[in-house]
Structure 1
Amino acid sequence: MSTTSAGSASATSASATWWGHSTISIVDSGVTLLTDPLLTGRLAHLRRMAGPIPRLTGAPDAVLLSHLHADHFHVASVRAVPGEPLLVMPRGARSFAVKALGRSVAGRCVELAPGEETTISGVRVLAVPAAHDGARGPWSRERALAIGFVVEGSCRTWFAGDTGLYDEMADLGPLDLALIPVGGWGPTLKAHGHLDPEAGAEALRRVKSTWAVPVHYGTLWPIGLGRVRPYMFSEPGNQFAEHAARVSPDTRVRVLTHGETLALEPPA
């Protein structure tokens, strides 16, 4: 396995490119999946503080949407994704998607609950649990499950979405790649179904993955708070790697920069 710049891993069987926050392009067996697209420089009171706004050059085969929170199901960004990909989302989210994106997307929506799956050009996408509130927000009546995904092609990749620790995480492994959230967009998120670097390393220990990439940090921060606890913005990835080295020493952790790709060879 190796790392390359974005777009140069087409010769390998699987790759993951981190675009910031929870937006990741997963390519496996010729199938491209885009997770929780956030293709903007600003979201409400949050501003993109690192990395360029992602510019997607091709249409993915599917968009994986983990839950309804606006930084994960960002309507304008989903609308801006090229092509007409499938929209794989938690059970109960289709009604919101149709209201927000228009009735034309109804036929492209695939709802999954934990334990349910769909297949996209031979690549299996399995919905798995997430310990996180799935409501759109306190101002909205829209509710759906929060989920993660395990993608099975030539490799097994876990995209956790947003989650806290839960007992059944051990059932997800063994994995080839774990994409684990280790921070957030503010200094007070840990108590709300999120992982910090230490808890993220514990999640990694449970799922027994060969490789891990920390995500969901170092991208968005509240406007006006750029000098407030800056270490909580920039350091979670490296802190996760340090904790992982102690509790999951057999895992290789790659801390990616925005737009960087981890290219994976299939397991022997």
Structure 2
Amino acid sequence: MSGFSLRFLGHSTVRLDLGGRVVLTDPVLTARVGGLVRVVPPPPPETYADVDLVLVSHLHGDHLHLPSLKLLGKRTRIVVPRGAGAWLAKKGFGNVEEIAPGESLTEGALEITATRAVHSGHRWGPRLTHGPQSPAIGHLIESGGTKVYHAGDTDLFDGMADFGPVDVALLPVWGWGPNLGPGHLDPARAALAAGITRARAAVPVHWGTLAVPGIRRTARMRRLLADPPRVFAAEVKAAGGTTEVLFTEPGAEVALPAREDRA
């Protein structure tokens, strides 16, 4: 696809080169994220040194990661869910904007529209009431007839079909632990999301990058660090869907099909 490239940097972090701009989703760029360790190498600095725009889907520490944002520079344009801007500005970031579902903004030739997401928006998790909170969101990123859906963290919801058809959906297929809490897609539900959004192609994300140190070496955890995108691909195929699954290891360039192959 001419003028468009993707690189999966790990977890929910994807670099998009589209419309002459570089966009980074939910940057997690360091060897540790809170109490989690990165089980693949951190992305080299050249993969994020020229970022124009950062899209943050929600406030959880594995999506809004302050040390990673600092690596990008405190003047980098950061878009957060409405209600989170003042909190992030207090951390010293000087170019923060807010967006809510249905609202749009532009970055050069790009148009970014926030979408609904079904997921806890509290910084410290769904059971706490103190501290920063704002609704979790996803994003539609469009330019020159290409549309990318960045789901963030979400479960299925009514209205997801309104986003389609999309050229590429960035769909979470697992997480970082042995279990998934509410507001997440597992491989089977991610396959449903690919069909609902009429995604021509899908990149499985939110897998194979972070783990709890004490359990990362167990046989079950080793499987969960590797299997979810493969199960996702199998679920898409079993459902008879037309979505092409672009399986990509963390850190690698996404092999996009030619536009004429996806007409």
- TM-score where L is the length of structure 2: 0.91
User: What is the SS of the residue equivalent to 2:101?
Assistant: coil
Counterpart pick for 2:232 among 226, 240, 255: 240
Paired residue for 2:110?
Answer: 123
Deviation at 1:259, TM superposition (A): 2.0
Structure 2 runs not aligned, ≥5 long: none
Identical pairs, percent:
38
Deviation at 1:44, TM superposition (A): 2.3
Contact persistence 2:138–2:152 (CA under 8 A): yes
In structure 2, what is the Cα distance between the partners aligned to 1:119 and 1:266? 24
Counterpart pick for 1:257 among 246, 249, 261: 249
One-letter amino acid of the structure 2 residue matched with residue 207 of structure 1:
T
Q: What are the equivalent positions in structure 2 for 1:30-179 lying under 5 Å apart?
A: 30-50=20-40, 52-57=41-46, 58-82=49-73, 84-100=75-91, 102=92, 105=94, 108-138=95-125, 140-154=130-144, 155-179=146-170
Contact persistence 1:205–1:248 (CA under 8 A): no
Deviation at 1:266, TM superposition (A): 5.0
Paired residue for 1:13?
Answer: 3
Deviation at 1:265, TM superposition (A): 4.8
Show CA shifts across 1:81-108 (max 9, x none). Answer: 15832111100010111122x1x51xx2
- TM-score where L is the length of structure 1: 0.89
Contact persistence 1:187–1:232 (CA under 8 A): yes
Deviation at 1:47, TM superposition (A): 0.8
Measured at CA, do residues 266 and 118 of structure 1 come closer, stay the same or move farther in structure 2, by a change above 3 Å?
farther
Larger displacement relative to structure 2 (154-163 or 137-146): 137-146
Show CA shifts across 1:47-88 (max 9, x none). Answer: 1112x1112323211000000000000001001115832111
Q: What is the aligned length?
A: 252
Contact persistence 1:60–1:83 (CA under 8 A): no
Q: Which has the higher contact order (CA 8 A, sep 6+)?
A: 1
Deviation at 1:163, TM superposition (A): 0.5
In structure 2, what is the Cα distance between the partners aligned to 1:26 and 1:202? 24
Contact persistence 2:208–2:250 (CA under 8 A): no
Contact persistence 1:182–1:217 (CA under 8 A): yes
One-letter amino acid of the structure 2 residue matched with residue 209 of structure 1:
A
User: What is the SS of the residue equivalent to 1:199?
Assistant: helix
Contact persistence 1:67–1:89 (CA under 8 A): yes
In structure 1, what is the Cα distance between the partners aligned to 2:259 and 2:147? 9
Contact persistence 1:32–1:61 (CA under 8 A): yes
One-letter amino acid of the structure 1 residue matched with residue 87 of structure 2:
F
* Displacement over 2 Å in runs of 4+: 82-85, 246-249, 262-268
One-letter amino acid of the structure 1 residue matched with residue 36 of structure 2:
L
In structure 2, what is the Cα distance between the partners aligned to 1:56 and 1:83? 16
Contact persistence 2:34–2:61 (CA under 8 A): no
User: What is the SS of the residue equivalent to 1:143?
Assistant: coil
Measured at CA, do residues 81 and 251 of structure 1 come closer, stay the same or move farther in structure 2, by a change above 3 Å?
same
Q: What are the equivalent positions in structure 2 for 1:213-232 lying under 5 Å apart?
A: 213-228=203-218, 229=220, 230-232=222-224
Instruction: Report the RMSD for the aligned CA atoms in angstroms.
Output: 1.6
Measured at CA, do residues 23 and 178 of structure 1 come closer, stay the same or move farther in structure 2, by a change above 3 Å?
same
In structure 2, what is the Cα distance between the partners aligned to 1:156 and 1:56? 27
One-letter amino acid of the structure 2 residue matched with residue 150 of structure 1:
L
Contact persistence 1:127–1:150 (CA under 8 A): yes
